[in-house]
Amino acid sequence: MPSSPRLQGKTALITGASRGIGRAVAERFAAEGADVVITHIRDHSISETFIQNLINISHSAGFPGRHLAFEADVADPAAAGATLQRVVAHFGRLDCLINNAGIQAPTPGDDWDDATFARIIDVTLMGAARMSRAALRHFQSRPGGGNIINTSSVHEIIPKPGFLAYSMAKGGLGNLTRTLALEFAASGIRVNAVAPGAVVTDMNASWAQDPEARARVEAHIPLGYAATPEEIAGVFAFLASQDASYITGQTLHACGGLTLFGEFRTNWAS
Ligand code: NAD
């Protein structure tokens, strides 16, 4: 943990944060002094205990610890405005939006159904666009600029065969990041993305809990292991902080080297 609290007095909203990467980001932001709002859908593990844990983290770092959690589906067109209103009513302002909610399911290029495809795009890409629109309006309604961080993926740039909708959504998040960064830089608003590779979360339960399958996945990662959500959370804290004050429009790959063309670790051509 850094010695000086970088997010003291900031209010951060993290979508899809009842577990996995979002949850780790919420905990890291609480430890660095932020007031944290998390949203999720249908996650019954969200309870008083979840918020109490965030409060305990804040208190042990010497902060008041004002946190909030509620259900809001980012794919619901009405949810973005309502979520922002609720945050501002509770905390008076929002400083940092983290568009983290994302889902994936197989969508082979020649065999996908419209409903599944649309849901993946709607949650993973359109949800981020709608939440950003609401946050941008708020950021410009008061002094101080603002900060948006999208949870992208190495599949922003590496194709994921069999997962066309997810690849398209993450590719789109890259353009969302760069376009909004350029459009709103003059308003003091920074927009960046964090692109993880393989992270041990429920999304990856199929291989993360199976030692043989996990070893096969990890063999592809130049650093040799799948990340913990906590390793990814620190990158969000950096981008949200003044340490990153001159960074906008960037996707920061936190992927253990996956984007370095690992198959070329040893030369196999001329
Ligand atoms: P996860 O499945 O563990 O958690 C997903 C969270 O999103 C949950 O809190 C869930 O309630 C919430 N959620 C799902 N649909 C939602 C919706 N419509 N509205 C609001 N909340 C919703 O996921 P994770 O592995 O922590 O992934 C989080 C983000 O990181 C996703 O955008 C994912 O694409 C991205 N990512 C994950 C990995 C990885 O290896 N786990 C790698 C790269 C990128």
Task: For the chain, 270 residues long, give each residue's pLDDT as a single digit of tens.
Answer: 545 689 999 999 999 999 999 999 999 999 999 999 999 998 877 777 889 999 999 999 999 999 999 999 999 999 999 999 999 999 999 999 999 999 999 999 999 999 999 999 999 999 999 999 999 999 999 999 999 999 999 999 999 999 999 999 999 999 999 999 999 999 999 999 999 999 999 989 999 999 999 999 999 999 999 999 999 999 999 999 999 999 999 999 999 999 999 888 899 887
Q: Is the CB of 19 under 6 A from ligand 1?
A: yes
CATH class for domain 11-259? alpha beta
Write the secondary structure of 73-92 as one string of H (helix), E (strand) and C (coil): CCCCCCHHHHHHHHHHHHHC
Mutate to test the pocket of ligand 1, among 203, 225, 253 (most ligand atoms within 8 A of CB): 203
> Which ligand 1 atom minimizes the distance to the CA of 71?
20
User: How far away, in angstroms, is 123 Cα from ligand 1 center?
Assistant: 10
User: How far away, in angstroms, is 150 Cα from ligand 1 center?
Assistant: 12
51: its two tokens: 């918020």
134: its two tokens: 């609401």
Mutate to test the pocket of ligand 1, among 19, 21, 225 (most ligand atoms within 8 A of CB): 21
User: How far away, in angstroms, is 142 Cα from ligand 1 center?
Assistant: 30
Q: Is the CB of 203 under 6 A from ligand 1?
A: yes
Query: Hey, whose CA ends up nearest to atom 13 of ligand 1?
Result: 16
Residues with Cβ within 8 Å of residue 149, at least 6 apart in sequence = 96, 97, 98, 99, 191, 192, 193, 194, 236, 239, 240
Q: What backbone torsions phi and psi does residue 52 show, to the nearest 5 degrees?
A: -60, -40
User: How far away, in angstroms, is 20 Cα from ligand 1 center?
Assistant: 7
Domain map of the chain by residue range?
11-259
Residue 108 is predicted with a pLDDT of 98
Please give the span between the terminal C-alpha atoms of the chain, in angstroms, as a whole number.
Answer: 45
> Which ligand 1 atom minimizes the distance to the CA of 103?
34
